[in-house]
Amino acid sequence: MKELFGTLADGALVHRWSLENGGTRLKVLSYGGVVQSLELPDRHGRYANVSLGFATIEEYEASSPYFGALIGRYGNRIAGGRFTLDGEEHGLPANNGGNNLHGGPEGFDRQVWDVEDFTAGSDVGLILRRTAADGEMGFPGTLTTKVTYTLTGQGDWRVDYEAVTDRATVVNLTHHLYWNLAGEGTGPVHGHELTIAASRYTPVDAHLVPTGELADVAGTPFDFREPRTVGAGLRLRTDDPQLRHAQGLDHNLVLDKGLTERPEHIATVHEPLSGRTLRIATTEPGVQLYSGNFLDGTLVGPGGHAYGPGDALCLETQHFPDSPNRPEFPSTVLRPGQTYRTTTVHSFNL
C-alpha cells in the first residue's frame, strides 16, 4: 500500500509503502529509503516495532541520526574529509569532527528516491533508484544506484545494493536501522544477547577513524565470538580507551568470512524477554557495531518515548571505514564498466 507521508521543506512529496509477508511488517519512506518501522511478533504473537524512528517527516528532516536510512555514497568515516584516487585529491564536507561521515550532510539518507513496488512469486518488495551527480558531496562520478528491499515468503528482509559509475569513485553503501528487539522506546538494549563471527576489529583514534591496525578481539569489549550481552561489553567503558573514544561501542568488526559472493551468516541478536531473534547474513567483509551512544534523550519516537543512550543497537554491514585512505583495507573503488553489488539478509525467528 502506498500513501502520502508528508512534504519536505522544499515542497517535495514523501510517500510511504506498507509491506507484509511471512509474519514481518515493513513501512518504508521514499525519503532516504527510510525504514520507518519493522514489526515482528514476540513469543506470544504480539507485534512490536523493533526499529527506532519518528512519527513525522518533519522530524526526519530536522534531526534524524540516520534512523532506518540508506547510507551513501560512502558509509562511515573518511578521515579529514578527503581522499586521493588516481592521483587526484577529492575534498568532501567535514560533517563529523573534521571527517566526512555517511556521505556528508546531504547524503543518500536525505534524498527522495524513486520507488516502485513488486511481487515475485511468494516475495514482495520495493525497488529504490536515484542518480547522484558527478561532484555531489564532493565525490567523483555520476553514480546510478538501485537498492531492492525484499520481504520473502519466510519473512526475511533482504537488501540488495547495485551501483554503476561513469568515472572512478568510491562506494560503500549500507543501512542504518536502529534495532531494539524488545520494541522501540522500551529502554536500553543491554540485555540483548549478541554473537558476531569476527576475531578482529579496527581500532580507532580519538576522532573515531581507524588507525589501520587489525587488532585481536580476545580480551576486549569487542569479543562477541560467543554469545554475550551488549551490556557486558559496555560495563568495561571506563577501563578501555576504545570505548572512551566512542562513549561505547562504535567500531568496525572484521568478519572472519571476509568478502564473499553470497551472503553468509555473521551475527545473531537475541532478546530473551520477547523471544525475538535476528540473524544477519551478508556478502560484506565488515560490520559497524554501534550501541546508540549518542542518543541523548532529546529525540522522541512514534510511541512517545524519548531515546536515551544505549536504547538501540546498529549492525551496519560494510567495507571498512576510511578505506579510500587505507590501501591495506579491502578496496571500495568502483570504475566505469564495473557493477557494485552487495547483499545483506535479515532473518527473524523466536
**Could you give the residue numbers annotated as active site?**
176, 316
Residue 77 phi/psi, 5-degree rounding, is -100, 145
3-state secondary structure of 241: helix
Count of C-beta atoms within a 10 Å radius of residue 268: 17
Q: Dihedral sign for Cα 324, 176, 339, 279, please.
A: positive
Q: How far apart are CA 317 and CA 16, in angstroms?
A: 25
Q: How far apart are CA 37 and CA 16, in angstroms?
A: 11
Distances (CA, A) of 307 to 178, 205, 210, 272: 11, 27, 28, 21
Residue 146's identity, in one-letter code, is K
Residues 6+ apart with CB under 8 A from 10: none
User: Is there a contact between 212 and 323 (Cβ–Cβ < 8 Å)?
Assistant: no
- Find the length of the chain: 350
Q: Dihedral sign for Cα 89, 90, 95, 100, please.
A: negative
Residues 6+ apart with CB under 8 A from 248: 234, 237, 291, 292, 293, 309, 310
**In this structure, what is the dihedral angle of CA atoms 88, 89, 93, 99, given to the nearest 10 degrees?**
130
Task: Report which of 1, 35, 96, 115 is spatially closest to residue 344, judged by C-alpha positions.
Answer: 35
| SS3 annotation, 193-208 | EEEECEEEEECECCCC
> How much is the CA Rg of the chain, to the nearest whole Å?
19
Count of C-beta atoms within a 10 Å radius of residue 303: 12
